[in-house]
Amino acid sequence: MDLIKVIGLGVAGNFAGHLEQAGELESFKDVKVADARAPKAVFPFYLPAPSGRMSDSFLKVFPLSSSEIRIPAGELDANLQPEPEVGVLTRIEYDGERQVRTLIPEYFGAYNDCSIRRPGAVKISTKKNWGIATKGFSSNMIRIDSFSPAGNIAGYRIASFLKRDGNLYEYGVDSAVNDYSYMYGELMAWIRDRMNNQKDEGPQENISEYLNLTGYPEYALISIGATRYTSFGEREYVRLGDVCYVVLYPQGMSHSEIAELVRTETWDRFDCISMLRQVVVQG
């Protein structure tokens, strides 16, 4: 599938502890949620606007890459921080009023919601897309047999690493997909509601308006939330030449086995693994 035609959306605050570590919790202090477990907002990171629409928006730039993360030109000291998570390619069905009726997850893969930390930035999206190759999605997607606790995705874990000067560091805490605060039907119902009803308030944006501007796309790539950082990941931003890895792997494999596959870059023989490897380069 040509992801250039797919709207890019993310879920903020769907993993306990991440917003605090990322220094983003203050941005959501005024966001009201009915359920304390609920995520905070849906945000856009890419809008595939038809020709002539949103010509001046930074969100029209396609930011996904399966091989690079680009530091902004002339900003080698920019505070770029990988965010390891699951990306879900989801079909959108609309009703006769152009409201989102159903979301149907079809594929999942390793995703890097790399963010540029900008204190004081109002909208989440301004921290998510600063040009081409500023996010990451694995080219090895895995078909979802059932987006439920009984489905194949429920048996996966998320790991992430950073290689610097030949040394491999744990970047995110190895976590089960089932550790997300909202998941499966509950998550899709919440996202559908936000797509239809979220207002342009504080860090939130009107997703329904974006669906209209983009011609009601058939698919969305939805990043469903970043995991917690290790102490290394919490304090270290990426540098030129670093290599970032996000790995989705079946829980039948051990973390040490995955770390060795990353260290030796020999994961290709495992079709069950979704691997994202990105080299940090100058923009």
CA distance 210 to 153: 29
Is 265 domain-assigned?
Answer: no
For residue 11, tell me if it sits in a domain: yes
In a domain, 151, yes or no: yes
**Nearest CA-CA partner of 63 in 46, 82, 80, 83:** 46
pLDDT digit string (tens) for 132-184?
999 999 999 999 999 999 999 999 999 999 999 999 999 999 999 999 999 99
User: What pLDDT is recorded for position 119?
Assistant: 74
pLDDT, tens digit (0-9, with 9 covering 90-100), for 30-44: 666 777 788 999 999
169 in any annotated domain: no
Could you list the residue range(s) of the whole structural domain that residue 30 is in? Answer: 3-155+178-236
Counted domains in the chain: 1
Share of the chain above pLDDT 90, in %: 80
Distance CA 126, CA 124 (A): 6
- 234/5 Cα distance (integer angstroms): 33
- The answer on pLDDT for 269 being more than 80 is yes
Residue-wise pLDDT for 188-245, tens only, equals 999 999 999 999 998 899 999 999 999 999 999 999 999 999 999 999 999 999 999 9
Task: Name the DSSP letter for residue 35.
Answer: S
On whether residue 101 sits in a domain, the answer given is yes
Question: From CA 204, how far away is CA 123, in angstroms rounded?
Answer: 7
Burial status of residue 145 (CB atoms within 10 A of its CB: 0-12, 13-18, 19 or more): exposed
CATH number, position 38: 3.90.850
The reply to whether 168 falls in a domain is no
Nearest to 64 by CA among 114, 126, 12: 114
Q: Which residues of 22-33 are buried (b: 16+ CB within 10 A; e: fewer)?
A: bebeebbeebee
Handedness of CA 39, 41, 45, 51 (dihedral sign): positive
Give the model confidence (pLDDT) of 66-82 as tens digits: 999 999 888 878 899 99
Q: Is residue 246 part of a domain?
A: no
Q: Which alpha helices (DSSP H) does 60-131 contain, by range?
A: none
Reported as a single tens digit per residue, the pLDDT across 81-122 is: 999 999 999 999 999 999 999 999 999 999 999 999 887 778
The answer to whether residue 262 is domain-embedded is no
